[in-house]
Amino acid sequence: MQFDILTLFPNLIRPLLAESILARAIDRGLIQVQVHDIREHAEGRHLVADDYPYGGGGGMVMKPEPIFRSVEALLTDSEPRPPIILLTPQGRVLTQAVVRELAGHRRLVLVCGHYEGVDERVRQHLVTHEISIGDYVLTGGELPALIIVDAVSRLVPGVLGDEAAPDKDSHSAGLLEYPHYTRPPEFRGWPVPDVLLSGHHAKIERWRRQQALCRTWARRPDLLRHAPLTDEDRRFLGQWIAGLPEDDT
């Protein structure tokens, strides 16, 4: 999987690629991340990449020419066009389903907006997708671009190692994940649930599923509307909810 990140602030991005799982994935050649400085495609002595908005108003707008040229410098006629994604609070909200969709491509071009925004012609004539990481506004698209690199890379085979399975994570099965425990078996008087120490795999699996169901119901009931639930899941949840004190339901 190849990522090309186009930004006015390459130094915001690089440190986060130099540590932990992403750094290891890059070292092992499982992902490639190229960071491109949009300013290198700006013109004039001062390499100006932004300008005042037509019509007045506050803030600056990123000029179209450097962005078009930065993207065009990456594309070749011999390769199919990758998705060209603008990070913007106006985009489609990123979910695990969108992450899975993006992971189906072999290359993603991520364009980081900044200041008040980008010239509308970038939206209209250059980018193919617009993605938001949530309903709040950041100072720029760099953190959102890194979030996409991180979330998509975890789905690339080998990135998480052999043991970790991305399909068990929160959201992958449409539910939040069950609670995790590690040693010691008792910490400050708080014990690990007995079932996890029982060695009984079927019971552990059932407990985890039930915990995931209860947790999702309590924290993100909206997810349950779309989660693929079995008859047993529904029966369990119904009984569990019926047994709760009235204040909790």
CB of 113 to ligand ADE, least distance (A): 6
R_g of the chain, CA atoms, integer Å: 23
Q: Identify any residues that bridge with 92 across adjacent strands, giving them in sequence order.
A: 131
When asked if residue 54 is in the footprint of ligand ADE (CB under 6 A), the reply is no
CB nearer ligand ADE, residue 88 or residue 153:
88
* Measured distance CA(51)–CA(184) in Å, rounded: 58
CB of 143 to ligand ADE, least distance (A): 8
* Measured distance CA(142)–CA(10) in Å, rounded: 9
When asked if residue 88 is in the footprint of ligand ADE (CB under 6 A), the reply is yes
What is the strand order of the sheet 129-132 is part of?
A: 32-37, 2-7, 107-112, 84-93, 129-132
- H helices of the chain, in order, are 10-17, 20-27, 64-72, 96-103, 120-125, 142-153, 194-197, 201-219, 221-224, 231-242
CB of 6 to ligand ADE, least distance (A): 13
Q: Identify any residues that bridge with 99 across adjacent strands, giving them in sequence order.
A: none
CB nearer ligand ADE, residue 147 or residue 224:
147
CB of 174 to ligand ADE, least distance (A): 23
When asked if residue 117 is in the footprint of ligand ADE (CB under 6 A), the reply is no
CB nearer ligand ADE, residue 134 or residue 191:
134
CB nearer ligand ADE, residue 110 or residue 212:
110
Q: Among residues 37, 65, 116, 177, which one is catalytic?
A: 116
Residue 169: active-site member = yes
Give the CA-trace dihedral at 203, 204, 206, 211, to 10 degrees.
140
Number of residues this chain uses to bind ligand ADE (CB under 6 A): 13
Residues 126-145 that bind ligand ADE (CB under 6 A): 132-134, 136-138, 140-141, 144
Residue 27: active-site member = no
**CA-based torsion, 95, 100, 105, 106: positive or negative:** positive
Residue 89: active-site member = yes
Residue 79: active-site member = no
Total H helices, total E strands in the chain: 10, 10
Query: Contact residues for ligand ADE (CB under 6 A)?
Result: 87-89, 113, 132-134, 136-138, 140-141, 144
Active-site residue set? 89, 116, 154, 169
